[in-house]
Amino acid sequence: MRRFRAVVAVLGAAVLLGLTACGGGASEHKTTLKLYNDKGAWKPYFQQLNATSKKQIGLTNQPVGYTDEPTYQSFIKASFRTKNKPDLFTWQVGSQLQDIATTGQVADTTDIWNQGVKSGDLSNDVKKYYTVDGKQYCVPLNVSYWVMFYNKKVFAEAGVKEPTSWADLMADAQKLKAHGVTPFYQTNILFSFVWFQQLLLGTDPQLYEDLSTGKAKYTDPGVVKVMQQWKGMIDKGYMSDAGDKTDPGALLKSGKVAMVPDGTWFNTTMSQLKMKPGSDYGTFVIPNVNPSLSTTSMAFESGPLCSLTKAPDPQASLKYLKWWVGKDAQTTWSNSRNDVSANPKVTSTDPNLTTLTKKANSSSTKLYLRYFEAAPPPVLTAALDGFGAFLANPGTYLKQLQNIQQAADQYWSQHK
């Protein structure tokens, strides 16, 4: 009986609690900042920074990880309306950043950017991705370049070398295939856009940019040609089975595929698989398809770390962001993951990565925002569906492009 009473009491209290809303808390002084992120796997890397940040600014972070990106983003947006706002949170550049910045809730980081560019901690090239209506919001959480990872042993056995031109790359692919190795990795889930992005950037970067801004159509001859080229590579047997769900790192390691186009964050995967940079695997800048272009096009990815104007302790959050872009924080942060840093002063412990960074920042290379961020979400969703369907039936490329364009038409008719 007593137990029953207890149950009833608990339920009654629950309902009462449900009815009595409590007022919002005033701003407080925080020493631990909750860092909400969609990269749950990076928890240990976030935590590694705490010793230094505690010493230097008296603040530490506590990562709150999510993995399913759509759920994460809806959750963060919803939190803007509640008193449970994150101290810090990761986001996406492109239209996603624009979306939240225009609500006026995201903290302005213009000062951090101005000082950072002046002191050399931040680069002007990256700034534009963090600019909405002339002001800056958030700071770079991470930066990655999209390059080709390859298995050195497989390359040596097949007698091929790092290519310097598209023709070289195709010749390599031919040799690798003859050697019994699938030259390139591709997938039909999420990262299905990678080859589209690469081929289009290497053929006509202007068209790539025009597509992202709605000035060009997916049914334009230039885009159709790119799809035909992709199909051609599939037909020649250069591409891996897009339906294979095996982790690309495992495929590269086993030598089942020779090359994986990926962001430099793929280095983290390689080290988890005990692959050593320089001896087990290498990276190269993917050459342009069109040799007459004056600069090599490279896809570039950056994710923001943001705070809110009404964060629990806005001062502390901004202080942390300012510290974040500095050299000490960035050295630990990028080297622990063996990825590029947004801070040009940081030198990598991996010579490969240093060379790559140098190339990416030289005048012979031009960076373009990754397709995933460049395309507005509804268009991106339609495109990922379209590429997935294309990979299942390569003959249907025209139909897929029409479908994507339909979504683009609808989007751009409302967002001009």
Within 26-85, which residues bind other proteins (CB under 8 A)? 34, 36, 39-44, 62, 64-68, 70-71, 73-75, 77-84
> Does residue 217 bind other proteins (CB under 8 A)?
no
Residues 208, 218, 265, 397: which binds other proteins (CB under 8 A)?
Answer: 265
Residues 163, 208, 253, 264: which binds other proteins (CB under 8 A)?
Answer: 253
Give the interface segment with other proteins, choosing from 16-24, 51-59, 156-164, 170-178 (CB under 8 A): 16-24
Sign of the C-alpha dihedral, residues 17, 18, 23, 29?
positive
Q: How many residues contact other proteins, by CB under 8 A?
A: 87
Residues 156, 167, 171, 250: which binds other proteins (CB under 8 A)?
Answer: 250
> Does residue 149 bind other proteins (CB under 8 A)?
no
- Between 70 and 159, CB nearer to other proteins: 70
CB of 157 to other proteins, least distance (A): 16
Angstrom CA distances, 405 to 211, 213, 227, stand at 10, 13, 14
CB of 288 to other proteins, least distance (A): 26
Burial profile 248-275: b = 16 or more Cβ within 10 angstroms, e = fewer: bbebbbebbbbbbbbbbbbbbbbbeeeb
> Does residue 184 bind other proteins (CB under 8 A)?
no
Helix-strand-coil percent breakdown of the chain, rounded to 5?
50, 15, 30
Q: How far apart are CA 241 and CA 245, in angstroms?
A: 9
Subset of 382-401 contacting other proteins (CB under 8 A): 384-386, 388-393, 400
Subset of 94-123 contacting other proteins (CB under 8 A): 99-100, 103
Site string for other proteins, 319-358 (x = CB under 8 A): ----------------------------------------
Residues 233, 270, 299, 321: which binds other proteins (CB under 8 A)?
Answer: 270
- Between 73 and 341, CB nearer to other proteins: 73
> Does residue 1 bind other proteins (CB under 8 A)?
yes
- Between 112 and 401, CB nearer to other proteins: 401
CB of 313 to other proteins, least distance (A): 16
Tokens of 47: 């935590």
Q: How far apart are CA 33 and CA 11, in angstroms?
A: 34
Strand boundaries in 4-123, DSSP class E: 32-37, 60-65, 88-90
With 0-12 CB in 10 A as exposed, 13-18 as middle and 19+ as buried, what is 328?
Answer: middle
> Does residue 182 bind other proteins (CB under 8 A)?
no
Residue with tokens 């692959």: 275
What are the residues whose beta carbons fall under 8 Å from the beta carbon of 314, sequence distance 6 or more? Answer: 27, 107, 307, 308
First to last CA, the chain: 67
